[in-house]
Chain A
Amino acid sequence: MDLTNLRPGSVVDGFRVGEKIHEGGMAVLYRVEREGGEFPMLMKVPRLEFGSHPSCYVGFEVERMILEVLTGPHVPRWVTKGSLDDTPYMVMEYVEGRSLHEYADLAPLSADEAARLVAALATAVHDMHRQEVIHLDLKPANVIYRMDGRAVLVDFGLARHGHFPDLVEEEFHKPVGTSGYISPEQIMGNRDNPRSDLFALGVILYQLCTGRLPFGEPTTLSGFRRRLFLDPLPPRRYVPDLPEWMQEIILHCLEVEAENRYATAAQLAFDLAHPDHVPLTDRATRHKRAGLHTIFRRWWRSLRTEPDTKAAPTTHLAQAPNILVALDTGTGQEKILQAILAAVRRAAAADANCRIMCVTVIEPDISIEQDTGHELANSLYTRRLVELHHWAAELQLPAHRLRFHVLEGTNAATVLLEYARQNHVDQIIMGARGSSGLRRILGSVSSRVVAEAGCTVTVVHAQKTA
């Protein structure tokens, strides 16, 4: 049966074929339905006829293998697959929503709009990395936004599962990806680095903010290789009123050497959601490419083969956790603050890529008149923020590994739990039920956080002197 040319109304293994919604060089997509089907579905059929590109087959095999094991809202729900022998197809959820491609066509977008779109996308990418998969072909056409704003990734034909054999690598022996978005290390033949996806996110951000691709769309290998040593023109050259934080984030993603980029997509998502907290470096105000000296050094380096960094995505993520430190700085409980400091120091030393989010919760003061109340709260807010910075200074960590937040809420546990959930926190470090005044707040807080957090919680006790 020629599955690439099905008529509407025909039936394949119980699926009634509807409209053909896409006919590309690699695959054909149909809407399909099945009795009792709970959500809209599509059938993807690869082009396997004589003369079709070998990547059609391998891409199909790889996508089938990987999509089947992925779960959650950021991928199309898996339905089933046909036999590779005579009915090669897979059926998955048809995701209703807008493609990022449509937004990209409207670029340049405002920095806020681009940040919102890519923060949702980075959350989806982080979820893939947590499931051991690097996408390796992120571009606007492969991203769809559900009605609720969550991003869905499609087309896993070039993806890499850290625990499966890499069928793409053995098939091609040359860089595979989309020319505008492929990372420098992919060009060097490395398909094992989750940060390659962060590079593509940087390209997408650049494109959304400026309407241009930072490296164009080269078609030759030497054109591809230029990005190994030549960094892009800073986006503010094209859009002078682009906020500095956005240029900082974009150029951080587009660092040539992968280890200089964000460690995780979760860190990128956090910064896009909290632009005020992004520490600005020289990236923020740069107005030209790196100097000749740097370019030459990178070029020289690019001629030699890269050391192969083989680490499955989850192994990489395990070394780059987001650690939330909940502090109650205003109580003068120096002992517990010192004990927490020691615990955080150990964590920071163990995982060189971790990010420490220092957080405290204040109660909104509603007892006095609005104006004065606001003023008072503001000053309390500032005081707490200063105290957090003061406390963290002793960690002696570079600015990009620290974030500070003074949160407001009447129930500290609820506020902390919500913050941890939204910001992909991997571990919470907080003080135990203390003595005296702390007991009232922290006592109940830590026990509730321990009970309800979806991540590891470390409760720190101040050492008692005998």
Chain B
Amino acid sequence: MKIAVLSDIHSNLEALLACLAHARYHGAEQFVFPGDLLGYGADPKACLEIIAPMVNAGAIAVLGNHDKAVLGGMCENLAFVARDAIYWTREQLGQPERDFIGALPMVARNGNAYYVHASAASPERWTYIDSGVAAAKCMQASGSPLTFIGHVHHQTLYYTAGGGAAQVFIPVPGVAIPVSRQRQWLAIAGSVGQQRDGNPAAAYLLHDLQRESLTFFRVPYDYMSAAAKIRAAGLPERLARRLEKGN
């Protein structure tokens, strides 16, 4: 059984379709969306039209900070461009979409895997996991051998050692990394819909239950179309350029 973890889609339909096709080709049978389905991109409705039926059929999705912002509030914590995108997204969604987002849980468990958008230590505070110390706190709170998160857009793998801060490892795309159950692992799946490392290719990971391994992937997709739609929708230019440049 292989589970595809697709995080931070951010309303990017082209990237979502490319990653889903890639994951299915590589044998994914289950799908997990650890939050931030919305925000930034120009296709919130089309993305939810794909994701909602999958969730109804058993896929797992949890709430991200951008998803929560779409439901209401002032969004003071978000940057201006992100805020503009949230206001725009609110106008696109109807009641069924809002109901779907509103019903998403903060965290989810499946076997020995734990899914949350930001950190298991305090899910509603949207903490960024950017250090071994923060990663260790998150793993301790989840209590599971495997914790999958998004929020941070860089693919990263943390793991516990003797104690104290977790160790950090930057995965090489396409390499299956064995994750023994004897320690705890925290995988940041990367972002499907918005890159920040200079490489515009979409990111997700595949969790192989039989082989007990994680494979991080980078998938090229048609970011030119995604960026063109952002411009056509009148969303901030910065968001379109970001997809083209990958940062």
List residues of A whose CB falls within 8 A of some B CB.
Answer: 54, 57, 61, 64-65, 68, 84-85, 163-165, 167, 170-171, 312
Contact = CB atoms under 8 A, between A and B. Distances in A.
Given A61-B182, A85-B181, A170 B167 contact: yes
Given A170-B161, A170-B167, A171-B162, A163 B182 contact: no
A57 B159 CA distance: 16
Interface stretch (B6-14, B15-23, B172-180): B172-180
Contact of A171 (B161, B171, B180, B181): B161
A61 B180 contact: yes
A65 B177 CA distance: 9
Contacts of B182: 57, 61, 84
Given A65-B178, A165-B159, 11 more contacts: A61-B180, A68-B178, A85-B181, A163-B171, A163-B175, A164-B177, A165-B169, A165-B177, A170-B161, A171-B162, A312-B172
B157 interface: yes
A84 B181 contact: yes
A318 B180 CA distance: 31
Contacts of A312: 172
14 contacts: A57-B182, A61-B182, A64-B180, A65-B178, A68-B178, A84-B180, A163-B171, A164-B175, A164-B177, A164-B178, A165-B159, A165-B167, A170-B167, A171-B162
Interface of B: 157, 159, 161-162, 167, 169, 171-172, 175, 177-178, 180-182
Nearest to A132: B175
Contacts of B175: 163-164
B34 to A, nearest CB: 21
Contacts of A65: 178, 180
A297 to B, nearest CB: 35
A289 to B, nearest CB: 39
A54 B161 CA distance: 11
Nearest to A169: B167
Q: Which one of A68, A85, A170 has the highest number of Cβ atoms from chain B below 10 Å of its Cβ?
A: A170
B47 to A, nearest CB: 32
- By DSSP majority rule, is chain B's interface helix, strand, loop, or mixed? loop
Contacts, number: 30
Q: Which A-B residue pairs are the 6 nearest by beta carbons? A: A165-B169, A163-B175, A170-B161, A170-B167, A163-B172, A65-B178
A95 B177 CA distance: 27
Nearest to A61: B180
B162 to A, nearest CB: 7
A427 to B, nearest CB: 24
Nearest to B178: A65
A57 B161 CA distance: 12
Contacts of B181: 84-85
Contacts of A57: 182
B170 to A, nearest CB: 10
B98 to A, nearest CB: 41
B85 to A, nearest CB: 36
B180 A163 contact: no
B159 to A, nearest CB: 6
A440 to B, nearest CB: 46
Contacts of B171: 163
Contacts of B177: 163-165
A85 B212 CA distance: 14
A65 B161 CA distance: 16
Nearest to A54: B162
Nearest to A312: B172
A167 B166 CA distance: 12
A346 to B, nearest CB: 28
A54 B163 CA distance: 13
Contacts of B162: 54, 171
A165 B180 contact: no
Contacts of B161: 167, 170-171
A163 B174 CA distance: 10
A68 B180 CA distance: 13
A144 B157 CA distance: 36
A85 B182 CA distance: 8
Contacts of A54: 162
A365 to B, nearest CB: 53
Contacts of A64: 180
B178 to A, nearest CB: 5
A312 B181 CA distance: 26
